[in-house]
Amino acid sequence: MKTTKLLAFLVAANSLLIACNSSSSSSTADTSTKAVTSMHWGNVDGKDVKLYTLTNKNGVEIKISNYGGIVTSWMTPDKNGKKSNVVLGFDSLSGYLAKPPYFGAIIGRYGNRIGNATFKIDTTTYQLAANDGKQHLHGGNKGYDKVVWEAQPSDSTASLMLTYLSKDGEEGYPGNLSITVVYTLTDADELLMEYSAETDKTTPVNLTNHSYFNLTGDVANTILGHQLQVHADKYTPVDAGLIPTGELKAVKDGPFDFLQPHHIGERIAQVPGGYDHNFVLNRTTANLELVATLSDSISGRKLEVYTTEPGLQFYSGNFLDGSIKNSSGKPIQQYAALCLETQHFPDSPNKPAFPSTLLKPGEKYTTVTKYKVSLQ
């Protein structure tokens, strides 16, 4: 009888020990699978730079730094289940401090170009940095891609909120502009980008993200074999400085006609210098709408772009020249990746017929863009 009681006690004790260990393991697992984790990544301008990892229930991971709000990595599986990075990026901060062409960054105060680096509001003319020939590009010499943002990761979702105060006169722009950008990785493998801003003086605002995509996950493959569809009947032709002429030109039957899917390399030779143009999106509402689809037969991946914005800049990576190498040491050659930047039109402050980009005191700037990666 005593032996039986002792055996029962040992069984109960062992069960309790297993339960405790199981609880401990579960706690460790919860920590390791937290939706947002972070690590110290360096210092810029005396400020702490971190790299945040957003993970969803499918194991898809997106890494974002508070330096420039840069999306450094998007690890997602191909048709064979192999995960690879579908955006251009670096493993270390030093790669970005060498000033690559805006890889993955938040762009502002004004995304894209402003002609002759000037604009006028009422009777006041504002002079900006001419950092692209005679033109102003992507916010100037030190745009939002080169500043350290305040970061607040979510405790419950794969979400990261970034905030920045762009002060009156910064890079020549008027007004103190308070900006919030929220990145969210959903369980549907979507990266949601929600932008908002408020100002104390009238100012142009045009925020976007400058991620470069290669759906094969390997920069040794160009994007010329990717297929692209853009829901746009018109685009904005440009002059030699890549500034829109003001015309809205029909795409039909020309190299800018992506109303049906076309391989990017199919007609790129007909576009001097390659694609670097704004498409006038066919919008039916002010809501989030599907505006473009990119697909790749090598990986089987598909990228869908949704936005509330009126325009989409398709850039085919024309100025990539192999001088930059990725973290694996592979040179990033021309057409190694492309950008699909949601936006208002380039040079809108100087083109009254274009949708206005002026934000006034008391108003709130809000736009939403979503990139979704899936398998075909």
Catalytic positions are 210, 341
| C-alpha distance from residue 358 to each of 197, 199, 225, 313, 334 (Å) | 12, 10, 38, 19, 35
113 cis-preceded (ω within 30 degrees of 0): no
Q: CA 189 to CA 62: how far, in whole Å? A: 10
Helix/strand/coil (H/E/C) assignment for every residue in 98-156: CCCCCCCCEECCECCEEHHHEEEECCEEEECCCCECCEEECCCCCCHHHCECEEEECCC
For 50-116, give the secondary structure using H, E and C: EEEEEECCCCCEEEEECECCCEEEEEEECCCCCEEECECCCCCHHHHHCCCCCCCCEECCECCEEHH
Cite the DSSP H helix spans in the chain: 2-32, 93-97
Q: Which residue is associated with the tokens 């863009």?
A: 369
Give the C-alpha separation, 119 to 110, whole Å: 12
Alpha-carbon Rg of the chain, whole angstroms? 24
Phi-psi category of residue 14: left, alpha or beta, with phi > 0 → left and psi -120 to 50 → alpha: alpha
Closest alpha carbon to 162 in 196, 211, 139, 138: 196
Using the 8-state DSSP alphabet, how is residue 4 labeled? H
CB 42 within 8 A of CB 91: no
